[in-house]
């Protein structure tokens, strides 16, 4: 059995502008065929034209490659060559002031060499190991020296804030002496305009190995017909190093944005330090919080600003009555339910603010696209639809201390839930509900509203049965496991251990979900 990777439906692989205006491209292709016949060997390149606010930048050089990168039935290899000076510049720029500087590199993907690509560091908390103030090498995700918990807050039993969360040991360790440990973003058109690889301008190299949980979460999101990203497992090396096993993801670019949905729209990425709150009508006040992925030159952040302004002023009655006018409620219910079912505490309400927003120009509604699922499928397996999952506890398959039934049992402050304001010194905490505490007003109000409880619980039951009740998760696990290559850094024994651990987690999660599969 070959292992499928997250995939969009066939029609979603065709750019939105082409689906909406098919007659013009068909006529144009016919014209090109006639010209090709008339001019023989003369080279003619067709381009798709469409709405300038939606159509992506031209790809003038699309590197075909030897095999489809996302074909999981064949093995894949990726190597990166970075000069010593460029590598040192990239590391020092981040160590000095946190800049993720682009440097030139060469890559070889499945035997196809591509010179002069852009490469930079990618990530936030993962990269803190590069900023060890003592210069003694990598550090984990533990709390900084001098960190104290908020009054009234107690960590789950056995949790050491100075160490990586249970089940995450080694997953996010980075070491400047080991280039393969670094999460990287590869950009094919950084130094050569118009170039792409198999229609993609960017690829993301994920840290850790074999990160079965992230591949599982991506696959299950795709299997439930929700937008996600395609991925591939590769045997990976940097500068002829020993090989490791790495997950490579398509990184949302203009082509990705324009192929997600049938209708035209704008795709926005939330920054890790963004605030989902209204701060005024000036678009410049949001420019460092949200990045527009497609139509950036002719687009606008106004759809987000208008929604945040409404959300800020809407009382509960207004929210209940008119949220559906501004948000695709059914899609949002499925998104929120999926994050709970996958026990992802680092979604749009997590410390990393990991999500994209899609604004549909036809319906004038927003929807959420999941992103960065490396924290999924590791937390407490017993979480129900009305429980809170977060990154502050319950890490590791079957581990105790998950954020379910939050409140007195967890030593939480009165009212339940993780602390919303993080103290000074906590990584990315700002004391206002972001950082390790996370938070998102839309998600919170949606789950608190009785008006949407029915839609949310219905979506939850449907997805619970599909993912766990019908055995889909176990089937996908077998398929994912078959696609993971061993390498110098990943033995067959270590891979099997990770697969067995994930299998146990899924079985526990499925057992806990039995009460939610049937309508109550």
Distance CA 4, CA 231 (A): 10
Mean pLDDT score of the chain: 79
Look at residue 161 in the predicted model and tell me its pLDDT.
Answer: 45
Distance CA 367, CA 332 (A): 6
Look at residue 49 in the predicted model and tell me its pLDDT.
Answer: 28
In the chain, the percentage of residues whose pLDDT exceeds 70 is 71
Between 50 and 508, the more confident residue is 508
Three-state DSSP class for residue 160: coil
- What the block records as the tokens of 48 is 């798709």
- pLDDT tens sequence across 72-118: 999 999 999 999 999 999 999 999 988 999 999 999 999 999 999 99
- What the block records as the tokens of 163 is 């160490």
What is the reported pTM? 0.78
Residue 351, pLDDT > 50, answer yes
Nearest residue to 156 (alpha-carbon basis) of 496, 476, 450, 395: 395
Residue 444, pLDDT > 70, answer yes
- pLDDT tens sequence across 448-469: 999 999 999 999 999 999 999 9
Q: Which residues pair with 359 in a beta bridge?
A: 266, 366
Count of beta carbons in the 10 Å neighbourhood of residue 425: 12
Look at residue 302 in the predicted model and tell me its pLDDT.
Answer: 95
Residue 71, pLDDT > 90, answer yes
Distance CA 290, CA 355 (A): 10
Structure confidence at residue 143 as a pLDDT band (50, 70, 90): very low
Look at residue 172 in the predicted model and tell me its pLDDT.
Answer: 52
Look at residue 305 in the predicted model and tell me its pLDDT.
Answer: 97
Q: Which residues pair with 372 in a beta bridge?
A: none
Residue 431, pLDDT > 50, answer no
**What is the mean pLDDT of the segment spanning 123-131?**
79
Q: Which residues pair with 217 in a beta bridge?
A: none
Instruction: Give how far Cα 167 sits from Cα of 159, 399, 510, Å.
Output: 11, 8, 20
Structure confidence at residue 132 as a pLDDT band (50, 70, 90): low
- pLDDT tens sequence across 246-289: 999 999 999 999 999 999 999 999 998 888 999 999 999 998 89
**What is the mean pLDDT of the segment spanning 432-441?**
59
Three-state DSSP class for residue 280: coil
Residue 407, pLDDT > 50, answer no
- pLDDT tens sequence across 14-60: 444 444 444 444 444 444 344 333 333 332 222 222 343 444 568 99
Q: Which residues pair with 113 in a beta bridge?
A: 108
């Amino acid at each position: 059995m070959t292992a499928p990777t997250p995939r969009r439906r066939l029609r979603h692989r065709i750019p939105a502008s082409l689906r909406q205006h098919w007659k013009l491209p068909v006529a144009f292709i016919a014209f090109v065929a006639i010209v090709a016949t008339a001019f023989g060997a003369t080279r003619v390149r067709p381009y798709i034209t469409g709405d300038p606010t939606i159509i992506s930048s031209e790809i003038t050089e699309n590197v075909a490659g030897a095999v489809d990168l996302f074909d999981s039935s064949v093995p894949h290899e990726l190597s990166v060559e970075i000069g010593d000076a460029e590598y040192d510049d990239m590391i020092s720029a981040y160590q000095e002031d946190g800049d993720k500087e682009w440097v030139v590199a060469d890559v070889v993907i499945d035997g196809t060499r591509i010179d002069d690509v852009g490469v930079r560091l990618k990530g936030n908390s993962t990269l803190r190991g590069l900023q060890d103030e003592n210069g003694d090498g990598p550090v984990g995700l533990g709390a900084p020296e001098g960190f104290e918990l908020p009054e009234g807050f107690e960590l789950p039993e056995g949790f050491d804030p100075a160490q990586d969360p249970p089940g995450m040991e080694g997953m996010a360790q980075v070491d400047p002496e080991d280039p393969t440990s670094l999460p990287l973003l590869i950009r094919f058109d950084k130094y050569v305009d118009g170039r792409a690889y198999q229609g993609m301008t960017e690829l993301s190299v994920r840290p850790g190995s074999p990160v079965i949980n992230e591949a599982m979460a991506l696959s299950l999101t795709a299997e439930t017909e929700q937008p996600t990203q395609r991925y591939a497992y590769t045997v990976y090396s940097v500068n002829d190093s020993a090989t490791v096993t790495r997950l490579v993801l398509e990184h949302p670019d203009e082509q990705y944005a324009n192929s997600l949905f049938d209708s035209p729209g704008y795709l926005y990425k939330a920054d890790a330090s963004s605030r989902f709150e209204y701060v005024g009508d000036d678009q410049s006040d949001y420019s460092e919080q949200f990045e527009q992925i497609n139509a950036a030159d002719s687009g606008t952040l106004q759809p987000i600003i208008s929604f945040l302004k409404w959300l800020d002023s809407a009382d509960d009655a207004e929210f209940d009555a008119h949220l559906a006018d501004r948000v695709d409620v059914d899609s949002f219910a499925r998104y929120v339910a999926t994050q709970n079912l996958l026990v992802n505490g680092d979604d749009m309400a997590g410390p990393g603010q990991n999500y994209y927003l899609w604004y549909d120009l036809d319906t004038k509604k927003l929807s959420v696209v999941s992103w960065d699922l490396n924290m999924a499928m590791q937390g407490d397996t017993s979480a129900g639809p009305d429980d809170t999952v977060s990154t502050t506890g319950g890490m590791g398959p079957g581990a105790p201390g998950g954020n379910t039934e939050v409140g007195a049992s967890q030593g939480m402050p009165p009212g339940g839930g993780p602390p919303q304001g993080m103290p000074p010194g906590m990584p990315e905490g700002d004391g206002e509900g972001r950082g390790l505490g996370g938070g998102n007003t839309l998600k919170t109000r949606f789950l608190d509203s009785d008006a949407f409880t029915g839609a949310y619980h219905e979506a939850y039951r449907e997805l619970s049965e599909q993912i766990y009740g019908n055995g889909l998760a176990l089937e996908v696990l077998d398929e994912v496991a078959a696609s993971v290559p061993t390498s110098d850094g990943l033995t067959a024994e270590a891979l099997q251990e990770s697969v067995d651990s994930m299998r146990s987690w899924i079985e526990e999660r499925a057992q806990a979900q039995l009460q939610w599969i049937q309508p109550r």
